[in-house]
């Protein structure tokens, strides 16, 4: 699942740096697939009715420069 991969990346970033995450960068197709995963599991990680479309309150930047399926956590 894409959501599991993102959670692992977030956990790894926090454990290595000790800092909170304030930005997630991903390919637009990855974002679409992540939304499908989250909403199919009825998780509240992405609020359907929120125009900002954040993941767990973290801003998500969608970039065509990213490889589909990979994340960059900052």
Residue 48: helix, strand or coil by DSSP?
A: coil
| Alpha-carbon gap, residue 9 to 56, rounded angstroms | 14
Burial class of residue 8, CB neighbours in 10 A (0-12, 13-18, 19+): exposed
pLDDT above 80: residue 51 = no
Q: Given pLDDT bands bounded at 50, 70 and 90, which one contains residue 58?
A: very high
Size (the chain), residues: 74
pLDDT at 47: 86
Q: How confident is the model at residue 62 (pLDDT cuts 50, 70, 90)?
A: very high
* Whole-number average pLDDT of the chain: 93
pTM, entire model: 0.91
What are the Cα distances from residue 27, in Å, to 15, 16, 24, 36, 42? 24, 24, 10, 15, 23
Region 22-48: what's the mean pLDDT?
A: 93
């Amino acid at each position: 699942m894409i959501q599991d991969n993102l959670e692992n990346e977030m956990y790894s970033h926090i454990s290595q740096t000790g800092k909170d995450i304030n930005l997630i960068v991903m390919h637009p197709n990855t974002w679409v697939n992540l939304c499908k995963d989250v909403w199919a599991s009825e998780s509240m990680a992405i609020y359907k009715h929120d125009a900002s479309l954040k993941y767990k309150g973290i801003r998500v930047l969608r970039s065509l420069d990213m490889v589909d399926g990979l994340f960059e956590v900052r």
